[in-house]
Amino acid sequence: MLLSAGPLVRPSALSAQSVHETFPLRLVFTGDINLGTRTLPEGLPPDSGRGLFSGVDSLLKGDLVIGNFEGVFSDSGESAKCAPKSTRCYAFATPTWLAPRLREAGFTHLNLANNHANDYGLDARNDTEAIVRHLGLVPYGPLDLLAITPVERDGRFMLVGLVGFATYPHAYNLLDLAGSADIVGQVRPLVDVLIVTFHGGKEGATAVRTPSVPEFLAKEPRGNLRKWARAVIDAGADAVVGHGPHVLRGVEFYHGRPVFYSLGNFVTYRGFNLEGPLGLTTALQLDLDARGGFAGARMPALIQRSDGGTAPDSLRRATALLRRITRLDFPGTGARFADDGTITAP
């Protein structure tokens, strides 16, 4: 298996006095992001999307800020995925002029390993990756593309690795447990901290529970996520962060490493159902110590507004949901949630 970090590691960006020495990190993660779709009626946000992140951009501050981008950047063309006039097929094409909103919001990295990354084929996938790089952000998730990023602080630097998995040929395959563990094991010696993300599991309002058996979306296999997450931690992952079900899921600890089984929808303008649990979300703020161990986390309660954008939820419904499903699914290994979303290990 060829592992390619491409031009993502830039030692020349470090000062001449930089010393390779580990230190604590704050990493921020969000779930699904879609800034608008040009093929949907009223599918584009007003004011060029400048209000989409205004209620939550203060949360998007960390050494790395990582989101899952659902779809592609595309200004023209049609998707071969959907039949003409289909009302039961979803293909997301975000105009390129909306792309700067991601940089302005504070994102540094975007995951492209998901089911909508191939909505418009290989050329659109490649164009999307190029646009993300042009913004100054780091893409990862396409097959053979991982991110190894130097983080510098006070003359010291460390390397953080990100590997994205999904259930599709254009990404590392989470259906292959042995292969997944092998990839993680190959990357582990190259970095100081290694984070594994995934896009998997069934979808919809009824998908808030994390089963201990393989999941499916209709007849499409979407992984045995509990078994897979533990396998990649055994192989060297410091944390596992998931998305894909479009709802929040529980949080557990395995050998002291946290697994966040789904961060839900974060900012998804049109084309996504936001009723009930589908509209509840969070921005995971994950603190790691100098060895990559869990030092703390917070998942503040947020909600997507019906008019677009995401904002804090004074009713803290996301926290209540996370607390309930974590207790149900992981009674012995689940995280503990304070009212403000602060997480402690069991």
**H or E stretch including 302?**
strand 302-304
- The predicted pLDDT at position 4 comes to 42
Strands 336-337 and 215-217: unpaired
Please give the single-letter amino acid code of residue 99: A
Helix (H, G, I), strand (E, B) or coil at 204: coil
Q: Which fold has domain 11-344?
A: Purple Acid Phosphatase; chain A, domain 2 (3.60.21)
* CA atoms of 111 and 57, how far apart (whole Å): 19
- The predicted pLDDT at position 12 comes to 46
Q: How many helices (H) and strands (E) does the chain have?
A: 5, 24
- The predicted pLDDT at position 10 comes to 45
Name the burial class of residue 83, with classes exposed (0-12), middle (13-18) and buried (19+) by CB atoms within 10 angstroms of its CB: exposed
- The predicted pLDDT at position 307 comes to 76
Residues of the chain short of pLDDT 70, as ranges, are 1-13, 16, 83-88
Using alpha carbons, list the distances in angstroms from residue 294 to 43, 130, 154, 291, 343. 40, 33, 22, 9, 10
Q: The dihedral of CA 126, 132, 136, 139: what is its sign?
A: negative
Q: How many CA atoms lie within 13 A of 107 on its CB side?
A: 28
- The predicted pLDDT at position 78 comes to 86
- The predicted pLDDT at position 87 comes to 58
Q: Where are the domains of the chain?
A: 11-344
* CA atoms of 175 and 196, how far apart (whole Å): 15
Q: What is the DSSP secondary structure assignment for residue 81, as one 8-state letter?
A: T
- pTM, to two decimals: 0.95
What is the DSSP secondary-structure string of 122-191? HHHHHHHHHHHHHTT-EEE-BTTB-EEEEEEETTEEEEEEEEEEESSTTBEETT-HHHHHHHHHHHGGG-
Using alpha carbons, list the distances in angstroms from residue 231 to 166, 204, 259, 310. 15, 26, 12, 34
Contact in structure between 303 and 55 (CB atoms under 8 Å): no
Using alpha carbons, list the distances in angstroms from residue 22 to 103, 147, 188, 289, 337. 27, 18, 15, 9, 28
Q: Between the CA atoms of 215, 217, 222 and 224, what dihedral angle is there, to the nearest 10 degrees?
A: 0
- The predicted pLDDT at position 191 comes to 97
* CA atoms of 225 and 232, how far apart (whole Å): 11
